[in-house]
Every structure is written in structure tokens, then in C-alpha cells.
Amino acid sequence: MRIVAENLEQAYESAGRRLVVLKDISFTVEPDEFVAIVGPSGSGKTTLLGLLAGLDRPSSGRVLLDGRDLGAMSEDERAAFRAANVGFVFQTFQLIPTLTALENVLVPLELKGNGRRADIDRARALLERVGLGERLDHYPAQLSGGEQQRVALARAFANEPAVLFADEPTGNLDAENGAAVADLLVELNRERRTTLVLVTHDPKLAARAGRVIRLEGGRIVSDSGPGVSRVGPQWSAEGAPAGGLAAGGTPPSDAGGAPEGGAA
Ligand code: ADP
Ligand code: MG
């Protein structure tokens, strides 16, 4: 899914003061990209992801997903658009505690109406894909953090989203489980050809992205530029700027590309 952020600004009023959390945010993400958003705590990463995913509305500016202006939609239209097109993975898993692993993965499918049998088969196949085929009937409390996040990954891919947003998906996991979740996320993203926008503090995970955007104090301070992330014939790096693929969290010093990521 093509993501266009145009002059996004987000401000909150608190105690009579206006706190600007995001300012002058403009970039374009092409459908074949895997973008990492990095930056210190409080720099606005979660806020930005929420705007891109249509979970929140900006104070000003626009977000276009495949040309559709999220701001022009009603709350209900945005919810329906998200259900059909967007997957989200949270740092804190956000599974529904009263539902089993299988039922959690079924939640996004229930809006699609493919028929119960087909949905159950699909949810089971996804849980098998993330290595939880034996845990279908377990509740979140019976699963480790790594297992819960793998259920959340299966849930995020259940509706075959065109774009997946992940907010520090490994942030609450130890190194070993974090690495397993990161591997699965990157593999599923490749298999399903999903656009991936990921917030992370993990330099190793950011280094796997084709492009790194760094926020500080609510502004973009560097953007390694459009980069093609996937390997394989359709996704050759041909035409991608050198900095795009080499970026490992450190921006290229010449900041070669246009800051707005204006790929023609
Ligand atoms: P990050 O994810 O990079 O750590 P956030 O996007 O969560 O940063 O937050 C950026 C800033 O916005 C922080 O200073 C935070 O306190 C503030 N903020 C986030 N949400 C709200 C809100 N609903 N009301 C007021 N301030 C908020
Ligand atoms: Mg955050």
C-alpha cells in the first residue's frame, strides 16, 4: 500500500498549553518498502504510527493510503478501511484475554464474512505458521510473552492487510524471543508482500529495513530515502539509492535523497 504523509502536525492541549508532538512530517512509502522508524522515547513515533494507520487524526496535514484520504472518511469508514487493509502489532500484544489464541486470530476475520469454516482454517494455518499449532485453545495468560506476540502476528496478518504497522513489536521481549518474533515478522512480510512500517529501538531489526526514518522532538531528522527491502526477482534493488539499502540506523552523511522521499 502506498502511504503518503503530507505536512502532518499533531498537537495536544494540556493545562492550557499547546504541546506540539509532531511537526512538518512529510514522506511517501511505496508499496514494496519496509521502513523502520527510530528515535528517542517521546520523539513521536507511536503518535506517527497511529496517524498513518488511521487510529488517530492529525491536528493538520493529511494521510493518504493508496490515494484515499483518511481525514475525509467518517470514523466508521476509517474503521472499515482499517479492517480491510491494515494490520497492527503493538508492543504490549493487546490480545483479548477471554479469547483463545484461535479466537483472537479470528477477530479480524469475522468482519469479512468468508464463512466460519474457511476463517477457522485460515486462522489455524496462520497459528501453525508462527509455530503455535499446538496452542490453538490456549488463553493469553497460558502463553509466554513471545508466544503471545506470535499470536498477535498471526492476528495482524489474518485479514491479508496491504500494510502492517508494528510499534516496538519486540520491545517487551527478551533477546531470544524478540529475535524469533522479528524473524517471523520479516518473513511473513516478505511472503505476503505487505508494506511494513515498524517502530523499533532494536538496531539489528532497524538494519533489516530498506529505509530508516529518524524522529527527534517530533520532526524527521533523517530519512535514508526510498529503498526496496525485499530480495528476489521482483524486488531487486535496481534503482534504489545506495544509501537506502546500506542504512543501518545511521543516516548517510550526504543525505542524498529528497527529505520528503519523493520517489517519482
Ligand atoms: P514515542 O512513541 O516516540 O516514545 P509518543 O508518540 O508516544 O512517543 O509521544 C510523543 C509525545 O507526545 C510525548 O511527549 C507524549 O507524552 C505526548 N503524547 C502522546 N499522546 C498524548 C496525548 N494523548 N495527550 C498528550 N500528550 C501526548
Ligand atoms: Mg512509542
Q: Could you tell me if 211 and 39 are in contact, meaning their C-beta atoms sit under 8 angstroms apart?
A: no
Is residue 259 in some structural domain? no
Residue 146 lies in a domain: yes
Residue 10 CA, closest ligand 1 atom number? 12
Residue-by-residue pLDDT tens, the chain, 264 positions? 999 999 999 999 988 899 999 999 999 999 999 999 999 999 999 999 999 999 999 999 999 999 999 999 999 999 999 999 999 999 999 999 999 999 999 999 886 666 788 899 999 999 999 999 999 999 999 999 999 999 999 999 999 999 999 999 999 999 999 999 999 999 999 999 999 999 999 999 999 999 999 999 999 999 998 765 444 333 333 334 444 444 334 444 444 444 443 343
Ligand 1 site-directed mutation target among 10, 12, 17, 41, most atoms within 8 Å of CB: 12
Domain that holds residue 158: 3-246
In a domain, 90, yes or no: yes
The three cell numbers locating residue 41: 522515547
pTM of the model: 0.85
Cα 239–Cα 202–Cα 158 angle in degrees, nearest 5: 75
Q: Tell me if 191 is assigned to some domain.
A: yes
Structural domains of the chain, count? 1
Q: Please tell me if the CB atom of residue 234 comes closer than 6 angstroms to any atom of ligand 1.
A: no
Measured distance CA(49)–CA(4) in Å, rounded: 13
Question: What atom of ligand 1 comes closest to residue 43's alpha carbon?
Answer: 3
Are 36 and 202 in contact, with CB atoms under 8 Å apart? Answer: no
Q: Whose CA is nearest to atom 25 of ligand 1?
A: 12
Is 253 contained in some domain?
no
Residue nearest to atom 27 of ligand 1 (CA): 12
In a domain, 25, yes or no: yes
Q: State whether the beta carbon of 21 lies less than 6 angstroms from ligand 1.
A: yes
Of the candidates 242, 175, 255, which has an alpha carbon nearest to the alpha carbon of residue 213? 255
Output the pLDDT for position 115: 72
- Reported residue count of the chain is 264
Instruction: Assess if residue 261 is contained within a domain.
Output: no
Instruction: Give the whole-angstrom CA distance, residue 214 versus residue 37.
Output: 6
Q: Which three cell numbers stand for residue 136?
A: 490453538
Atom of ligand 1 nearest to the CA of 167: 2
- CATH code (residue 242): 3.40.50.300
User: Strands across the sheet with 163-167, in order?
Assistant: 86-89, 163-167, 195-199, 34-38, 211-216, 219-223
Tell me whether residue 252 is in a domain.
no
- Beta carbons of 152 and 185 less than 8 angstroms apart: no
